[in-house]
Amino acid sequence: MSEFVPVAKVDEIPKDARKRVEVHGEKISIFNIEDTYYAIRDTCPHKKTAPLIRGTLDGIGIKCPNHGYRFDLKTGDCNIDPALKTRTFPVKVEGEDICVQVG
């Protein structure tokens, strides 16, 4: 069973903020959009080099800083190429901890 891992304190990622963390070797970008947290694999699957943490928010999605492909923060779906769907992670808050389910 996958575990929820504490990755940050809630005051580290206030509303409209973001933070990149690393869990078990996986770089994960966490976004706080209207006080809801979303977690997505940080490395863009298109060229596998761009960090999505530096992207532009577009609703509940993030546009890659390199070529602008948009990835849904809930599903990981890519708006340009369905084969580029990326991984997202469940997030929950326990007390002051933001926890991400990895595994």
Q: Binding marks (x or -) toward ligand FES, 40..59, rule CB under 6 A?
A: ----x-xx--x---------
Q: Give the DSSP H or E segment for 101.
A: strand 97-102
CB of 99 to ligand FES, least distance (A): 27
Residue 66 binds to ligand FES (criterion: CB under 6 A): yes
Q: Which string of DSSP letters, residue by residue, matches 35-78?
A: TEEEEEESB-TTTS--BGGGSEE-SSEEE-TTT--EEETTT--B
User: For binding to ligand FES (CB under 6 A), which residues are involved?
Assistant: 44, 46-47, 50, 64, 66-67, 69
